[in-house]
Structure 1
Amino acid sequence: MEQKEFRSAGGVDYALTRKRVKNLNLRLGPDGSVRVSAPLRASAASVDAFVAAHAGWVQKALARQKAAEAARAAAPTPKPADCLPLFQAVSDRVFPRFAGVLGGQKPIIKVRDMRTRWGSCHPAKRQITLAARLALQPPEAVEYVVVHEYCHFVHPDHQAGFWALVASILPDWKARRALLRNAR
């Protein structure tokens, strides 16, 4: 049974939800709200201390979130139809590495206005969906996301085998992923 209350600690107003979890978890909502989930047995004082200890992180994260929103407002999301040729071209370059796994059939590439992901893969549908705003990122980052999603046709999870496959195709994948992390 979840219990919710609103509290403040270290200059941070937050919503506390008590539930069956092992650890304290601090999250920022897309609206800038701060949410903490805590074990049922955690004292209010320990939760407040946790939030106060992370107040600096919360303030920096909120500033990054506002900066990202301002950047998105300055550069509106392109229309999905305008992005598809770019993504299809990258997919066409990556496909030969995965042709055997996909039985020689290219996956369907779709474009959506996604806010929380750069891409997703649906192996059962043989489909990759990419965020329209990905088209605004550097070509190296776009290629990383496409390769990442293709690798899910082989490994549906993010375990060691998945990352080894990504690294075999893009040895500099961490630098490419960093380009995206700075864009959010």
Structure 2
Amino acid sequence: MNTDQHLRVGEIDVEIVRKKIKNLHLGVYPPHGRVRVAAPPAVSDEAIRLAVVTRMGWIKRQQAKFAAQARQSARDYVSGETHFHFGTAYRLKVINRQGASSVKITGDRIELSASPGCDRDFRERVFQRWQRQELRDRAGPLVDHWARVYDVATPEFGIKRMRTKWGTCNAAAHRIWLNLELTKKPPACIDYLVCHEVAHFIEGSHGDRFITLMDLHIPRWRVIRAELNSEPLGHEEWDH
């Protein structure tokens, strides 16, 4: 069972996750450069501290890169705003119309139809309901595909807003969760993320076996992961 701890190294708070893996893995994650170390249970805190100190220059360069990264401001769901949908930028057009609310893409615009006088929160709910269905329609076949590739039972999957992850895998419940924000990302990023999460039903850690699986099935996964994390971040915060 994983044991999460924290270790202070200089000005940096390091999250430590103990796992049954062979080697220590150090990562720096957006949006603010969170530092995370996955380490075998036998590795001491001092060994982890030394590993962090040794790579401090690289850690700070990564954190500086994330600090300079473009972010979208909070959306008000009004005409003229730019919204990303599966990696493509669209201008939003709000149409005041009685009847059922809806969202559709027309050319280079996303049209949101809603009753006159509805407030910003209502428009957001309508928009996110559409995003959720769009992501479900795109991710469903990918979940089926990667379950067949890995020869595992097709997991259930759900979609929710998450502040710290692009996706998660719950092996015990045989379920994966996808971040609603993935609707903004290019299709290759979604494919990579689903492949990544389904692979955890075979290998729970991010160790050598996991990397071998990813290399086999998506040779460019590191490039795609970098693209996922370098796309403009929204005003909320997540990583993978």
CA RMSD of aligned residues (A): 3.8
CA distance in structure 1 between the aligned counterparts of 2:140 and 2:31, rounded to whole angstroms: 33
CA distance in structure 1 between the aligned counterparts of 2:223 and 2:62, rounded to whole angstroms: 23
Q: Which residue of 2 aligns with 1:130?
A: 178
**Structure 1 counterpart SS, 2:203:** coil
**Structure 1 counterpart SS, 2:177:** strand
Q: Which residue of 2 aligns with 1:175?
A: 223
Q: Answer whether contact 1:78 1:135 (CA < 8 A) is retained.
A: no
Deviation (angstroms), 1:166: 1.0
Q: Residue 57 and residue 140 in structure 1: after superposition, are their counterparts in 2 closer, same or farther (change >3 A)?
A: closer
Residue 147 (structure 1) aligned with residue 199 (structure 2): no
CA distance in structure 1 between the aligned counterparts of 2:146 and 2:64, rounded to whole angstroms: 40
Q: Residue 110 and residue 61 in structure 1: after superposition, are their counterparts in 2 closer, same or farther (change >3 A)?
A: same
CA distance in structure 1 between the aligned counterparts of 2:65 and 2:203, rounded to whole angstroms: 35
CA distance in structure 2 between the aligned counterparts of 1:142 and 1:120, rounded to whole angstroms: 13
1:51-90 map, 5 Å: 61-64=66-69, 67-70=70-73, 73=75, 74-75=82-83, 78-79=128-129, 80-90=132-142
Q: Answer whether contact 2:158 2:178 (CA < 8 A) is retained.
A: yes
**Structure 2 counterpart SS, 1:161:** helix
Q: Which residue of 2 aligns with 1:97?
A: 149
Of structures 1 and 2, the one scoring higher in RCO (CA 8 A, sep 6+) is 2
Name the structure with the higher helix share: 1
Deviation (angstroms), 1:139: 1.0
Indicate which of 3, 7, 12 corresponds to 1:21. 7
**Structure 1 counterpart SS, 2:7:** coil
Identity score, percent:
24
Q: Residue 31 and residue 142 in structure 1: after superposition, are their counterparts in 2 closer, same or farther (change >3 A)?
A: closer
Long gaps (5+) in structure 1 = 1-19, 40-49
The one-letter code matched in structure 2 to 1:91 is: V
**Structure 2 counterpart SS, 1:111:** strand
Q: Note the alpha carbon deviations across 1:138-170, whole angstroms, 9 max, x for none.
A: 111110000000110011111111111111111
Q: Answer whether contact 1:119 1:128 (CA < 8 A) is retained.
A: yes
Q: Residue 142 and residue 60 in structure 1: after superposition, are their counterparts in 2 closer, same or farther (change >3 A)?
A: closer
CA distance in structure 2 between the aligned counterparts of 1:172 and 1:61, rounded to whole angstroms: 22
Deviation (angstroms), 1:87: 0.9
Structure 1: which 4+ aligned runs deviate by more than 6 Å?
56-59
Q: Answer whether contact 2:31 2:67 (CA < 8 A) is retained.
A: no
Q: Answer whether contact 2:31 2:66 (CA < 8 A) is retained.
A: no
Q: Which residue of 1 aligns with 2:238?
A: none
Q: TM-score w.r.t. structure 2 length?
A: 0.49
Deviation (angstroms), 1:21: 3.4
